[in-house]
Amino acid sequence: MSKSFLDYSMSVIISRALPDARDGLKPSQRRLLYAMHHDLSLSASKAHLKCARIVGETMGKY
C-alpha cells in the first residue's frame, strides 16, 4: 500500500502542484486564465468581476 500511495502522491505533485516550465503556471491557474479569456470574455477595457464569480464559473465548467 505504501508503494501505491507514493506513486499516487508523486503523480499528483507532478501533474497538479508543480508549475510548468513553459509558462510558470500551475494547471489551476492556467484554467482560470483560460476561463477568464474564453468563457467570460474579460479584458482590461471591460467592467470588473468579483473573484468568486470567476472561480465559481471555472469550477462549474471544468
Please give the full DSSP string across 28-58, using - where no structure is assigned: HHHHHHHIIIIIS---TTSPP--HHHHHHHH
CB 37 within 8 A of CB 58: no
What band does 36 get if pLDDT is binned at 50, 70 and 90? very high
39-57, pLDDT tens digit by residue?
898 988 988 889 999 999 9
pLDDT(26) > 80: yes
Nearest to 51 by CA among 26, 23, 18, 59: 59
What is residue 20's predicted lDDT score, i.e. its pLDDT?
83
Q: Is the pTM of this model over 0.85?
A: no
pLDDT(1) > 80: no
